[in-house]
Amino acid sequence: MLIAQISDLHIQKGGKPAYGVVDTVSMLKRAVEALNALDPQPDVVLATGDLVERGSAEEYGILREILKPLKAPLLVVPGNHDARGTLAEAFPDSGKRVGASEFFHYAVDEFPVRLIGYDTTVPKHHHGEVCAARADWLDRTLAAGGDRPTVIFLHHPPFKTGIGHMDRSGLTNVPAMAAVVKKHPNVERIVCGHIHRAIQTRFAGTIASVAPSTAHQINLDLRQDGPAAMKMDPPGYQLHYWTPEAGLVTHTAAIGDYGEPFNFPW
Ligand SMILES: [Fe+2]
Ligand SMILES: [Fe+2]
């Protein structure tokens, strides 16, 4: 099974450049082209939040148009820039899966790897939260899947990255999530967004990771008092490749024209 992950698309109303600088629309179009050119094709594409900038229906309309040519099926979760209700209406393939809770949570059982979309957002706030109700939902949902290999995809990573200004708007009540995940050793990976960089760490007996943005990246600055800054490092996406023998192996790919592959000289 091949799972592609895109994150932090940050599409703006009117297709305007985000922050007056980043042409997120053109950059997402290039990401869609890159994904469509993959051989083999991904079985599914996960989009881990901050799909648009302000959560409006107009922005989601623009987003849907850009994503229309995508060949692989798409599953989304909200980020802090999204509005979960408007998102669910715009993406019924993900939205219709949302259970009868106030959150945008769902499980997908039709692939060899079970996928759990998990909503960490707090409306109108940058940080994320795992409240008691969400920790309980995750525990029940993981238990219902038995011991099948499982990937949880969400926006806010459950770990400190060392980038001070982002960590200060990170996930709260992480121990509640860690306690649940520790009970379920079949969780192969927790894949996230929000930090706009490829990052990974050990977490609660599994691996937690962040995918780069399809647009702008967060400046790699590990000073705790460093300014909140973005940078036009190469955009990218991740491919999580699963086989029963090797488990889940993650590749980070850059989006852009870096020339044609050339063969080894022997
Ligand atoms: Fe973001
Ligand atoms: Fe975010």
Residue 232 phi, psi dihedral angles, 5° rounding:
-90, 55
Q: In angstroms, what is the span from residue 79 Cα to ligand 2's centroid?
A: 5
Percent of the chain with pLDDT over 90: 92
Q: In angstroms, what is the span from residue 118 Cα to ligand 2's centroid?
A: 14
Q: Which ligand is nearest to the CA of 120?
A: 2
Percent of the chain with pLDDT over 70: 99
Q: Which ligand is nearest to the CA of 7?
A: 1
Residue-level pLDDT at 20: 85
Residue-level pLDDT at 14: 79
For 39-95, what is each residue's pLDDT tens digit? 999 999 999 999 999 999 999 999 999 999 999 999 999 999 999 999 999 998 887
DSSP line for 193-239: -SS-S-EEEEETTEEEEEPPPSS-EE-----TT----EE-PPPEEEE
Q: In angstroms, what is the span from residue 18 Cα to ligand 2's centroid?
A: 14
Q: Is the pLDDT confidence value at 99 over 70?
A: no
Q: In angstroms, what is the span from residue 246 Cα to ligand 2's centroid?
A: 31
Tokens of 31: 């990401």
Tell me the helices (H) and strands (E) count for the chain, helix number first.
7, 15
Kindly list the domain boundaries of the chain, sorted by start residue. Answer: 2-254
- CA pair distance 183, 205, nearest whole angstrom: 9
Q: In angstroms, what is the span from residue 148 Cα to ligand 1's centroid?
A: 30
Q: What is the pTM of this model?
A: 0.97
For 139-180, what is each residue's pLDDT tens digit? 999 999 999 999 999 999 999 999 999 999 999 999 999 999
- 114-117 and 150-153 beta bridge pairing: parallel
Taking residues 210-231, report their average pLDDT: 97
Q: In angstroms, what is the span from residue 105 Cα to ligand 1's centroid?
A: 19
Taking residues 9-24, report their average pLDDT: 88
Fold of 2-254: Purple Acid Phosphatase; chain A, domain 2 (3.60.21)
Q: In angstroms, what is the span from residue 110 Cα to ligand 2's centroid?
A: 28
Q: In angstroms, what is the span from residue 47 Cα to ligand 2's centroid?
A: 12
Q: In angstroms, what is the span from residue 193 Cα to ligand 2's centroid?
A: 7
For 127-136, what is each residue's pLDDT tens digit? 999 999 999 9
- 171-172 and 128-129 beta bridge pairing: parallel
Q: Which ligand is nearest to the CA of 155?
A: 2
